[in-house]
């Protein structure tokens, strides 16, 4: 009945110092201290004896080269378990921990406390214990099974357990508590199922006997039915099973049978921690120690040792092996920071789209930026009289909208509003002595305006070969000109300021400025702008 044998405790600091100095005696002491326990852990995680021997060999060779890099040399056991665990996970772990079903459990008692009423309690058979252990482990996730294995079979405290798993001591302790509750609940369920099966089999046997010989009296139960012994934590387990809907309904006949059945009473005293501790331990291969020592000391195998260490993966800032299923604290920190920045940017974009460009006055509208052309601020003459050319009139009069264009914007500048002329009083003709000059040509520059990193730009207008009157339109409400109409004498120049109006966050886009002279000729300027913030 093999069990994990006790070994003389050697100080981890002394072993790490010997490894750093290349002392062969330190490596031998390290193997004697942790070899059997590490092999038991790896075999439970892999289920393959040959693969377990290879992983244990590589873990010790890796420890000779990189274990002295630890920040705290008291975590040598955590370093070894972490190095072996990383290789096991890379290889692939089974759904249920492996234990040799042909081997027997140890002879240590499984009862939590001695039963004075029964001087010779009956222990469940080894096959039944194997069935209980495998059934309750199958109800747990592989990570929870591993936590219970390291905490109760290998006696790793939460701080050392967390160092081996790549977690903090607080998170490791929380996982141990959670896994313990789940494992105890699974074991109670399996024991209850076995008790009901035993009661059903006993009733079937009793019924077969009663068919031949009537039963005159029933034997009194060995223990009162109404006062069964309650194990520590049984009430919390019942509440946990009730919340999960896994609690069996009360059955008086089963309780009566369990009170007088030695097998049911012995089975009820088994605990999950005792099952893990008393499970059969594997036999450590005899040749593995010589193999580890030869690989670690042979000068010709220096390249092989370097390759084994390279396959061990990176180390954490504390010098412990990093685990593939646990992200580093730096990664978690950057993910948290990046997620916060993305969330803040998304909130700003949504707020900008909802509020629109008109922040601070006027009703909100959607979409925030209309794409139809902005109308000119010119207006028609009263009575529908135009200049006869279908376009805006010269500097001497008003302007009339051309066909196909939207009507003028009613919101015009007060300075552009003129009193309508009296239709009764005819306008005086210009003096006959002065002949009007022919209209000139409007020159607009530049032909393309790029607004990257700025919200203002300049557009120049020039009158060539005569006076020119002009009007302007924009294709988007985001583009604002300092003046929308005007006139220039011959060789006159006008400089207009173009302003880009955006919300908190502006997206890239483009638009068009259209300048029309008195002859109806259109001059277009393409405007392109980039993304803006505030």
Cβ count near 114 (within 10 Å):
11
Considering all CA atoms of the chain, what is the largest pairwise distance in Å, rounded to the nearest integer?
A: 150
pTM of the entire structure?
0.57
DSSP, residue by residue, 135-193? HHHHTS-HHHHHHHIIIIIS---HHHHHHHHTS-HHHHHHHHHHHHHHHHHHHHHHHHH
Could you tell me whether strands 522-529 and 448-451 are parallel, antiparallel, or unpaired per DSSP bridges?
Answer: parallel
Q: Output phi, psi for 398, to 5 deg.
A: -80, -170
Annotated domain spans of the chain: 1-102+281-326, 104-279, 327-368, 439-533
Can you tell me which residue has the tokens 């109409």?
485
Tokens of 385: 């009289």
Q: What is the pLDDT along the chain (534 residues), one digit of tens a residue?
A: 456 666 555 678 888 888 888 889 999 999 999 999 999 999 999 999 999 999 999 999 999 999 998 888 889 999 999 999 999 999 988 899 999 888 888 764 444 444 444 444 567 888 888 988 999 999 999 999 999 999 999 999 999 999 999 999 999 999 999 999 999 999 988 888 888 888 888 778 777 776 655 543 444 444 443 344 444 444 555 555 556 555 555 666 666 776 778 778 888 888 888 889 889 989 999 999 999 999 999 999 999 999 999 999 999 988 999 999 887 665 556 666 777 888 888 888 887 777 655 444 444 444 544 455 545 444 444 444 444 444 444 444 444 445 445 555 544 444 444 444 544 455 555 555 556 677 888 889 898 999 888 889 999 998 888 888 889 989 888 899 988 888 888 888 998 999 988 877 778 889 999 999 888 888 899 999 888 876
277 three-class SS: helix
3-class SS string, 193-238: HHHHHHHHHHHHHHHHHHCCCCCCCCCCCCCCCCCCCCCCCHHHHH
**Fold (CATH) for 439-533:** Immunoglobulin-like (2.60.40)
């Amino acid at each position: 009945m093999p069990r994990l044998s006790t070994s003389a405790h050697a100080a981890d600091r002394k072993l790490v110092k010997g490894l750093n100095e290349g002392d062969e005696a330190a490596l031998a002491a390290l193997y004697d201290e942790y070899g059997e326990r590490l092999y038991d852990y790896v075999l439970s995680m892999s289920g393959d004896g040959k693969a377990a021997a290879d992983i244990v060999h590589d873990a010790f060779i890796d420890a000779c080269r990189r274990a002295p890099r630890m920040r705290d040399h008291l975590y040598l056991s955590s370093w070894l378990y972490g190095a072996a665990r990383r290789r096991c996970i890379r290889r692939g772990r089974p759904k249920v921990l492996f234990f040799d079903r042909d081997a027997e459990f140890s002879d240590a008692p499984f009862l939590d406390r001695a039963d004075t009423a029964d001087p010779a309690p009956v222990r469940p058979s080894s096959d039944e214990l194997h069935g209980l252990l495998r059934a309750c482990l199958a109800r747990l996730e592989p990570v929870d099974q591993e936590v219970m294995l390291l905490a109760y079979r290998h006696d790793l405290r939460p701080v050392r357990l967390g160092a081996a798993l790549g977690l903090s001591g607080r998170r490791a302790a929380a996982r141990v508590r959670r896994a313990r509750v789940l494992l105890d609940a699974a074991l109670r369920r399996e024991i209850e199922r076995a008790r009901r099966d035993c009661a059903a089999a006993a009733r079937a046997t009793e019924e077969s006997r009663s068919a031949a010989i009537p039963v005159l009296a029933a034997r009194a139960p060995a223990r009162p039915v109404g006062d069964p012994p309650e194990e520590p934590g049984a009430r919390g387990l019942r509440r946990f099973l009730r919340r999960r809907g896994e609690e069996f309904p009360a059955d008086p006949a089963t309780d009566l049978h369990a009170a007088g059945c030695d097998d049911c009473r012995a089975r009820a005293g088994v605990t999950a921690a005792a099952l893990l501790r008393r499970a059969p331990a594997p036999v450590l291969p005899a040749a593995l120690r010589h193999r580890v020592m030869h690989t670690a000391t042979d000068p010709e195998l220096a390249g092989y040792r370097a390759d084994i260490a390279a396959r061990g993966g990176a180390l954490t800032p504390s010098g412990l092996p990093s685990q593939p299923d646990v992200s580093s604290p730096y990664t978690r920190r950057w993910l948290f920071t990046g997620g916060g920045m993305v969330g803040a940017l998304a909130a700003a974009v949504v707020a900008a789209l909802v509020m629109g460009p008109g922040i601070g006055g006027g009703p909100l509208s959607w979409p925030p930026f209309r794409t139809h052309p902005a109308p000119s601020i010119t207006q028609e003459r009263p009575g529908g009289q135009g200049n006869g050319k279908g376009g805006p009139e010269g500097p001497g009069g008003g302007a009339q909208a051309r066909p196909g264009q939207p009507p003028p914007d009613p919101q015009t500048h007060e300075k552009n509003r003129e009193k309508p002329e009296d239709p009764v009083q005819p306008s005086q003709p210009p003096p006959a002595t002065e002949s009007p000059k022919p209209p000139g040509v409007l020159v607009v520059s530049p032909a393309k305006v790029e607004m990257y990193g700025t919200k203002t730009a300049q557009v120049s207008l020039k009158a060539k070969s005569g006076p020119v009157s002009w009007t302007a339109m924009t294709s988007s409400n985001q583009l604002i000109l300092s003046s929308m109409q005007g006139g220039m004498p011959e060789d006159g120049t006008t400089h207009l300021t173009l302003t880009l109006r955006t919300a908190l966050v502006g997206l890239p886009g483009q638009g068009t400025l259209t300048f029309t002279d008195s002859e109806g000729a259109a001059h277009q300027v393409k405007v392109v702008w980039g993304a803006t913030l505030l």
